[in-house]
Amino acid sequence: MFKYPIKQAQKHWALFAALISASMLAAAHAFETFGGLAPCALCLHQREVYWVALFVGLIGFALSHYIKASSLVRAIDAVLGVVFLASAAIAFFHSGVELHWWQGLPECAGGGSKEISGDLLGALSKPVAQPSCDSIPWSFIGLSMANWNVIISLCLAVFSLICAFKGDTGSSEFE
């Protein structure tokens, strides 16, 4: 069985969280760039939270190397936990909008993408319409990107909070 000391996980969780956040942002941009899936307003809000987590993780990791205090590492992990809970909340709201459980934000109306022909400079001067938040342009095993984001964000939040609140008492290893 794989054993990983909780102290090591706590020590490096801010960096792992930053790397995972960067990976989530890269995946979102890849879906946009290579998959042709333009983000809706709620997708962009979900990305904003990952940018916050990325910077909190990087700053936390850097600070933890200059200030050798377990209370600082735990505080950073707690902040990451709250950030990932916010991400899960936004993604859950987005999932509800997709499933028509409730209305989206005013900017969620969207208008889809528009074809550009001829005058490229003229097209660039016009605002680009975002897709509607209540459509599901991609899903995997029946779960939309927003649904997957709920799951991933909750897992990240739980692990962040475990790292933040798991003290030196009790078991010191994951089994």
Buried residues in 25-50 as b, exposed as e (16+ CB within 10 A): beebeebeeeeebbbbbbbebbbebb
- 3-state class of 150 per DSSP? helix
Into which CATH architecture does domain 4-103+133-168 fall?
Answer: Up-down Bundle (1.20)
Lowest mean pLDDT among 19-28, 51-60, 62-71, 104-113: 104-113
CA angle 123, 129, 131 (to 5 degrees): 140
Q: pTM for the complete prediction?
A: 0.77
Q: Measured over all CA atoms, what is the biggest interatomic distance in the chain, rounded to whole angstroms?
A: 68
Q: List pLDDT tens digits, range 79-111.
A: 999 999 999 999 999 888 888 888 777 777 755
Report, in this order, helix, strand and coil percent for the chain, each rounded to 5.
Answer: 65, 5, 30
